[in-house]
Structure 1
Amino acid sequence: MHHTGGPGWRITMDTCGPMMIALYIRDVAGLTGAGSPALSHAEPHIRAADHSRLTAHVGGTDALREQWEQWWTELLAGYPETEASMTPPDFPEFSAMPALHRVVQAHFGAALTWAREQNSAYSLMAAERETLGGHKILADLVQNREMELGRSARDFTLTIVEMPLAEQRAWFIEPNRLIMSQHLLDDQPTFLSYVQPVVELLV
């Protein structure tokens, strides 16, 4: 996790293991466009499988999509204060979501392995950024805005969740959260096009 801050304000950048697992489940279930905001496919690519037989007696694909979206909303609302729990092999957390429950049971091992691999890669990348000062752009954004306004920043917190996503962009979730492709910071002009308006709004 990276923290950038000043008097009364803080920007954090980190990833989230449970959200990675949820992304894997979304993609392996072929739930394209599910969730709000609808994030792009994960990268590396996850091949979708047919779950129609698995979920046929518990509401089918429509129920699976609805239950996944409910889960995703809960993960977003809880991050970073509460770490979502998943308890194999029975996953009681999903007992009220039977379609999702079955798909999670079927794919949890592969999802966990994939998420751990992505988390390790993220940790290496984040450590390299720290060494090279790659996060300085965040403090610069706030300071530049303070100079424009002629005052100090208001008290605010901005939480940036970096995820292994195919599309190089960020998605703003009101009031103070961004989900972002984990390589977006490497492309500073594109990074600024998404993050600068949010910082300006908060400062």
Structure 2
Amino acid sequence: MRLRRERGAGWRIAVGDRRTMTMALWLRDASGMAPDLDPAIPPLDPPVPVDKDLAALAGPHATAQWTGLWLGLWEGRLEDWFAQQTLGPPGFELLVRSPELKTLVEAGFRDASRWSSDYRPLAPRSSGAPPYIAREPGAVVKQLEAELGRQAREFELDITVLPVAGRVFWLLADGTLVVSENLLRDVRAFRALLYDVLSGVV
């Protein structure tokens, strides 16, 4: 879901989250799974304690099926809107061919959904979402335009925010930038990252 969107003459930057990815990570952490991922994705922040009932369902088959689901989301083969419609109740249709994972998701879906809503990136909290985050991508584009002495070329950049530990980021093959919420909230680090990424497209 898009949380912030900026446009200019021929360019668009959208910052958002992916609820299904956050829910998948919650299920991983709450069940104590240790899937072999490349790249490795840090645990959620704030941390999710292991639930012994979910852990009992997280055997090797469930872990392998979870990994397949995650790769589909991560690599963009599984669209977020489709996953949201088919991953949950009443039928959990997306998981029909993944019976062990389906059992795990059915058991943890309500808590995963609640956590994903409560800790949604950039959602208002007691500390609030820093207002400069909404302006930062456009400000970097303007800075680069001034340095280059011309308008930005046509480009689109999607930034996906995950509430995971650390100040980490990944630039995916399709050009999507994935950043941790902690990095996004570090103004200096986020601006430096944007500058590096946008320098190649502006």
Q: Please say if residues 165 and 182 of structure 2, whose CA atoms lie closer than 8 Å, have aligned partners that are also in contact.
A: no
Secondary structure (helix, strand or coil) at the match of 1:13 reads strand
- The Cα offsets for residues 63-113 of structure 1, whole Å up to 9 and x where unpaired, read as 333322221232241456655322325412101112221211221121111
In the alignment, structure 1 residue 54 sits paired with structure 2 residue 57: yes
Q: 1:36 & 1:157 partners in 2: Cα distance?
A: 26
* 8 Å Cα contact 2:123/2:129 also seen in 1: no
1:67 equivalent among 65, 68, 89: 65
2:197 aligns with 198
* RMSD of aligned Cα (Å): 2.6
Out of 23, 26, 31, the position equivalent to 1:24 is 26
Amino acid in the other structure paired with 1:102: T
Contact 2:30 2:55 survives alignment (8 Å): no
How do 1:139-150 residues align onto structure 2 when only pairs under 5 Å count? 139-150=138-149
Is 2:167–2:183's contact at 8 Å kept on the other side of the alignment? yes
Distance 1:141 1:34, change over 3 A: farther
Q: Are 1:5 and 2:27 an aligned pair?
A: no
Q: Where does structure 1 differ by over 4 angstroms across 4 or more consecutive aligned residues?
A: 49-53, 78-83
Q: What is the 5 A alignment of 1:35-50?
A: 35-49=37-51
For 1:80 and 1:160, locate their aligned partners in 2 and report how far apart those are by CA, in whole Å. 14
Between the aligned partners of 2:170 and 2:57, the Cα distance in structure 1 is 32
Per mean C-alpha deviation after superposition, the further-off stretch among 74-83 and 8-17 is: 74-83
Query: 2:122 corresponds to which residue?
Result: 122
Question: How many pairs are equivalent?
Answer: 194
Give the AA of the match of 1:153.
Answer: A
1:168 to 1:32, Cα distance in 2 relative to 1, 3 A: farther
Gaps of 5+ in 1: none
Amino acid at match of 2:141: V
String of CA shifts for 1:98-129, please: whole Å, max 9, x gaps: 2221211221121111112113x73216xx55
Cα offset, 1:41, TM superposition: 0.6
- In 2, Cα distance between the equivalents of 1:172 and 1:118? 23
More helix, by proportion: 1
TM superposition score normalised by structure 2: 0.80
- Identical pairs, percent: 27
Taking structure 1 as the reference length, the TM-score comes to 0.80
1:110 and 2:119 aligned? no
Quote the Cα distance in structure 2 between the aligned partners of 1:202 and 1:90.
43
1:181 corresponds to: 180
Asked if the contact 1:27/1:41 (under 8 Å) is kept, the reply is yes
Contact residue 183 and residue 189 of structure 2 kept, 8 A: yes
